[in-house]
């Protein structure tokens, strides 16, 4: 059933040639010892694990799905999942970038990030089980008390326990201010939590000994809306002081959802019936604490988009070289065959290059942001830490929405390369399309990401974060503007940078008069910013490829061809998007709802 081979060469190009991670990490005392050899070794091992252990379970897991037993409230994951998880924890993978104080290996997030790409390419549904645990780890690490950290972090780091995020309720998803779950304080300092949560990924399963649920609920007398939400740690089994499992906590899985994709990940309805929980992050400060988890998860979802784009591309490429249909318009190319392989056809190449460009752009972008996170956490200079945090905040919604929207396009184009066979389950391509669809929805829909970018991250701080990123783009343009060979890359980057500045000011002015202008412009606006970011990274990668092309290494030739394709065929949608974003709110909002 197809193949997955970790794209080590391109990962190494991004890490070592584009981002120079080794010298960047030298400035961070926590990672000063991490060199290129260590990184490459980890990635090679990660490539083996994901190709050999996880990828073979991807299709079978999708076909089989999870099983729920209503009588015992238990969920069984597909055949092989539990064993693969045991291998994963035995090899120490969950500990990779975690804090050594609690048993982690303390490696940089930028390395973990590349490994996560592999996990998602090989098996997104499986990878969500440990992926959510990492979010829970980050949340408890940042907001937990010393006692909570000592109890929960080592278990999450070892992978013995997994984590979940329990936000959504039947009547509220985007608008968490509406949530109703209740937390009653108890004399012993714990809380009894009652409520119904839905769509909880990995809410119940058989892969780990315990499940640590992070649950949003309201304290008695809490303010209305999002200001009255608190966060609680609610373990499936109440832990004894020594960390062993105690009594079963009444947080049960009532059902699992039948769904379009990620069949092998259990999406659970969770009922809390006076379940014992511990407050984390202070009363009514739940959303603030949960944001750590949500931000980690948003970056993680972007990586899911990248992972699927890459694996769909790899398989479509193999197929396009093998499948023979028709002759090239410019005359036969495979004279020994009755027809040419379909890769000779221009439009098949367009489909392949779309996926290739989106994968390579996303890889550079995500690795860059992961390195920013390492600096935000570990740089000795406080001002640099703050700058990095601002940049991560700005780029997080772009990672989540732009990459997952592109993944939907890319996986669909790769399916199209297979013609009718793409639509047939046996080939595996339709699974990638189905799996890709959820990434645009959960962790805040892509519309919500767009509103976050334009409304909160840009207009609310008068464009300060965007200007800082713009200054980096400008510096690159100025440094390379006189290099003739770079003109084909620098000119569109510079033009788009100017257009983003003007567009932002225009929407900002209109929003003063009418706040609906933000909602009407946000989605195309985010895509324009996404293209500015990709143009910036592609221009930098083009510079390296131009310098090294003469070496004869065909990697650089392929890189340049991909970048030229990007600027010729994908970037031009910015003209249309800018027109859409400028068209205002009236074309959307003037029609009364009852006239639809
Ligand atoms: C498979 C799966 C796994 C999930 N995993 C988890 C999980 O682990 N934990 C968890 O807590 N939740 C999880 N979710 C829930 C998910 O995060 C929500 O479905 C998502 O946030 C959207 O909420 P909703 O479904 O209630 O849609 P709604 O909030 O009802 O939104 C409906 C539509 O309205 C749009 N909309 C809403 N408000 C606005 C606005 N202000 N402006 C413009 N458009 C708007 C939305 O973009 C969307 O298109 C999961 C969902 C699924 C399907």
> What is the per-residue pLDDT across 71-88, written as a single tens digit (0 to 9) for each?
999 999 999 999 999 999
Task: Please indicate whether residue 40, judged by its CB atom, sits closer than 6 Å to ligand 1.
Answer: no
Per residue in 395-418, pLDDT (tens digit) is: 999 999 999 999 999 999 999 999
Sequence-ordered alpha helix ranges (H) in 379-463: 382-417, 429-438, 446-451
Per-residue pLDDT band for 296 (boundaries 50, 70, 90) equals: confident
Catalytic positions are: 443
Distances (CA, A) of 593 to 143, 375, 590: 44, 48, 9
CA distance 586 to 16: 48
Identify the band that residue 502 occupies on the pLDDT scale cut at 50, 70 and 90: very high
Kindly report, residue by residue over 297-335, the tens digit of the pLDDT: 899 999 999 999 999 999 999 999 999 999 999 999 999
Backbone angles phi, psi at 199, to 5 degrees: 60, 35
The answer, yes or no, to whether any atom of ligand 1 lies below 6 A from the CB of 93, is no
Give me the pLDDT at residue 561, please. Answer: 98
The Å distance, Cα 46 to ligand 1 centre, comes to 32
Q: What is the percentage of the chain residues whose pLDDT exceeds 90? A: 98
Coil, helix or strand for 158? helix
Does the C-beta of 168 come closer than 6 Å to ligand 1? yes
pLDDT for 243-284, tens place per residue? 899 999 999 999 999 999 999 999 999 999 999 999 999 999
Q: Is the CB of 267 under 6 A from ligand 1?
A: yes
Ligand 1 pocket residue status of 166, Cβ below 6 Å: yes
pTM confidence score: 0.98
Check residue 586 and give its pLDDT.
97
Instruction: Place 242 in a pLDDT band, splitting at 50, 70 and 90.
Output: confident
Residues 91-105 have a mean pLDDT of 97
Q: What is the mean pLDDT of residues 195-205?
A: 98
Percent of the chain with pLDDT over 70: 100
What's the gap in Å between 114 CA and the centre of ligand 1? 27
pLDDT at 1 over 80: no
- Distances 471 to 37, 451, 476, 508 between C-alpha atoms, Å: 33, 23, 9, 20
Contact criterion met (CB below 8 Å) for 339 and 324: yes
Confidence band, pLDDT 50/70/90 cuts, at residue 292: confident
Which atom from ligand 1 is nearest to the alpha carbon of 448? 47
Give the Å distance between the CA of 172 and the centre of ligand 1.
Answer: 8
CB 536 within 8 A of CB 398: no
What is the tens place of the pLDDT at every residue in 422-470?
Answer: 999 999 999 999 999 999 999 999 999 999 999 999 999 999 999 999 9
CA-proximal residue: ligand 1, atom 32 (nearest) = 174
Give the pLDDT of residue 293: 79
């Amino acid at each position: 059933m197809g193949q997955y081979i970790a794209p080590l060469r391109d990962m190494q190009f991004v890490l070592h040639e584009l981002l120079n991670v080794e010298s960047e990490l030298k400035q961070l005392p926590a990672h000063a010892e991490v060199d290129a050899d260590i990184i490459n070794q980890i990635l090679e091992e990660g490539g083996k694990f994901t190709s050999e252990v996880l990828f073979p379970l991807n299709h079978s897991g999708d076909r089989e799905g999870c099983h729920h037993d209503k009588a015992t409230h238990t969920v069984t994951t597909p055949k092989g999942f539990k064993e693969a998880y045991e291998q994963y924890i035995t090899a120490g993978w969950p500990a990779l970038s975690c804090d050594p104080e609690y048993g982690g290996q303390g490696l940089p997030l930028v390395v973990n990030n590349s490994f996560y790409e592999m996990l998602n390419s090989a098996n997104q549904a499986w990878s969500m089980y440990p992926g959510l645990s990492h979010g829970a780890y980050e949340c408890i690490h940042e907001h937990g008390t010393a006692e909570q950290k000592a109890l929960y972090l080592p278990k999450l780091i070892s992978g013995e326990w997994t984590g979940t995020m329990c936000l959504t309720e039947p009547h509220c998803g985007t608008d968490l201010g509406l949530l109703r779950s209740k937390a009653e304080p108890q004399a012993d300092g714990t809380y009894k939590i009652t409520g119904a949560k839905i769509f909880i990924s990995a809410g119940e399963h058989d892969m780990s000994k315990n499940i640590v649920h992070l649950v949003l609920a309201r304290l008695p007398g809490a303010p209305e809306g999002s200001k009255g939400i608190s966060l609680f740690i609610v373990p499936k089994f109440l832990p004894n002081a020594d960390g062993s499992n105690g009594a079963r906590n009444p947080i049960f899985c009532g059902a699992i959802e039948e769904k379009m994709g990620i069949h092998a990940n259990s999406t659970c309805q969770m009922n809390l019936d006076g379940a014992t929980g511990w407050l984390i992050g202070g009363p009514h400060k739940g959303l603030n604490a949960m944001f750590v988890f949500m931000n980690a998860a948003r970056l993680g979802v972007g990586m899911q988009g990248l992972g699927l784009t890459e694996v769909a591309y790899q398989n479509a490429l193999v197929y396009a070289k093998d499948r023979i249909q028709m002759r090239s318009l410019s005359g036969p190319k495979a004279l020994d065959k009755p027809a040419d392989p379909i890769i000779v056809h221009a439009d098949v190449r367009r489909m392949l290059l779309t996926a290739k460009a989106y994968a390579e752009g996303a890889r550079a972008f995500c690795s860059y942001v992961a390195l920013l996170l390492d600096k935000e956490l570990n740089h000795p200079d406080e001002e640099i830490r703050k700058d990095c945090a601002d940049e991560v905040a700005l780029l997080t919604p772009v990672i989540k929405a732009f990459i997952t929207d592109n993944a939907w396009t890319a996986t669909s184009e790769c399916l199209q390369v297979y013609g009718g066979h793409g639509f047939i389950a046996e080939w595996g391509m339709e699974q990638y399309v189905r799996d890709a669809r959820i990434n645009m929805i959960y962790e805040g829909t892509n519309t919500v990401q767009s509103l976050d970018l334009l409304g909160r991250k840009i207009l609310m701080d008068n464009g300060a974060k965007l200007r800082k990123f713009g200054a980096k783009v400008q510096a690159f343009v100025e440094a390379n503007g006189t290099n003739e060979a770079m003109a084909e890359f620098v000119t569109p980057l510079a033009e788009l940078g100017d257009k983003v500045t003007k567009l932002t000011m225009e929407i900002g002015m209109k929003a003063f008069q009418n706040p609906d202008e933000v909602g009407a412009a946000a989605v195309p606006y985010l895509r324009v910013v996404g293209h500015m970011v990709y143009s910036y990274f592609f221009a930098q990668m083009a510079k390296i490829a131009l310098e090294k092309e003469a070496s004869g290494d065909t990697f650089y030739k392929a890189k340049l061809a991909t970048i030229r394709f990007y600027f010729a065929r994908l970037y031009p949608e910015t003209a249309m998007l800018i027109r859409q974003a400028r068209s205002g709110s009236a074309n959307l909002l003037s029609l009364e709802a009852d006239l639809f």
